[in-house]
Copies of this chain bind each other. A is one copy, B any other.
Amino acid sequence: MNEKKIPFSIDALTCPLTIDASSFITLAHGGGGKFTHQLIEKLFQPVFNNPELETRHDGAVIDIPQAKLAFTTDSYVVNPLIFPGGNIGDLAINGTVNDLAMCGARPLYLSVAFILEEGLPIETLWTIIKSMKKSADQAGIKIVTGDTKVVDKGKGDGIFINTSGVGAIEHNFKIHPSSIERGDVVLLSGDIGRHGIAIMSAREGLGFESQIESDCAEVSSRVQNLLNAEIEVHCMRDLTRGGLATALIEIAQTSKLSIIINEVQIPIREDVKGACEILGLDPFYVANEGQFLVFVKAEYAKQALEIMQNDALGSLARIIGIVEEKPQETVVLKTRIGTSRILDMLSGEQLPRIC
C-alpha cells in the first residue's frame, strides 16, 4: 500500500466493486435499507464529496446570494450510456449547467437523481459518477442532494439521470426571446452536429474513418464572460434536441420576428458533413451538447464575438445572422448558392434518445 499523502484525485479512487459482495445493482439497492445506504456511502459520498451532501437528510439547505434565481430540470436517457467524447454523466451535468447559463444564471447547486436498472454493473455506475464529479467541478457547480431508485430488469435501460439546477441571476438583462429586437445580431458558439453524429455512430456501430466525438461541454464560463463584459445580451439558447434549426424556429416563433441566417457562416466539420450525407441527416437539425446561440444588440456584436472566440472551445464562433421584422415567425436560410430556404420544424425527431 502506498501510504504517501497525495492531493485528492477522483481518478485515484477505486471502485468498491465488492459492494454488498455483488458487482451488479439489485432491487435492494433502491429499497431504502442497508444496501441503499451502502450505495450512498461507498459510491456517491466519496465522489460527490461536499459539506451539504454529507448531512444525510431529505434535502439540502443552501445559501443564496441573490433574490433572483434560475431553476431548471432535465432527465437524461441517452443511448448508449458511454459514447465517443462523453457519457450520460457528463451530459447530465453539462446539459443542466447549460440550461442555467441560457437563463443568464451563474450555476450554483445541482441535484442528481438516478433511476438504475436491476443488473447494471456497479463499475459502469462508478465510471459515470466520476465523470459527473469532474464536469461539476469544471462548471463550478455543487452537487448537494440526490436520490436513487432501482427498477426491475427490463423496466429501464441501464441508467436514467435527472439533474435539476439552481443558479444566481446577477444582472439586470431580461434574457428571453421576447427581448429580441429588429437589428439584433445572431452569434453561434462553434461547429454543429458533432453530438448527434457521435451518438448515432456509437449506437449503430458505424465505423467512420475519423472518430467523431461529442461536443459535450459546459458553456457557462463563456456566458459569464459575455455578461461580465456587460454585452447587451437579449436571448441565448443551447442547440440540443432538434439542433440549430429548431432553436432558431422556436425563438422566431416566440419573438414573432424573422431570423435571417447565412449558411456560409455556419461551421460544420467535413467529417460531420460526410457522416450526415451517409446517414441522410440534415446537420442543421442534429443535436449538439456544447453549442449555443446568442442574440445581442448590434453594437455589441464584434466584442461578443471576440469574447466567444477567446475561449478554448470557441475558436469557431461566428456571426451567423441578423433579426428582421418580416417574414414574421420565420427563419430564412440564405444558402451557399444564393437562394433562400425557409427552415421548418421537424415533425418527429431525427435521432431518438440523444440526450
Contacts and interface: CB of A to CB of B under 8 A. Distances in A.
B112 A348 contact: no
A350 B37 CA distance: 15
Interface stretch (A67-75, A123-131, A266-274, A306-314): A67-75
A32 B241 contact: yes
A75 B75 CA distance: 10
A205 B157 CA distance: 27
A131 B321 CA distance: 45
B145 A73 contact: yes
A104 to B, nearest CB: 9
Interface string A116-160: 000000000000000000000000000011110111101111001
Q: How big is the A interface, by class?
A: 35 or more
Identical copies of this chain, number: 2
A319 to B, nearest CB: 23
A126 to B, nearest CB: 20
B151 A157 contact: yes
Interface stretch (A7-15, A163-171, A209-217): A163-171
B31 A237 contact: no
B63 A68 contact: yes
Contacts of A144: 71
Contacts of A145: 71-73
A32 B164 contact: no
Contacts of A113: 73-75, 162, 164
Interface in A9-41: 26-28, 30-37
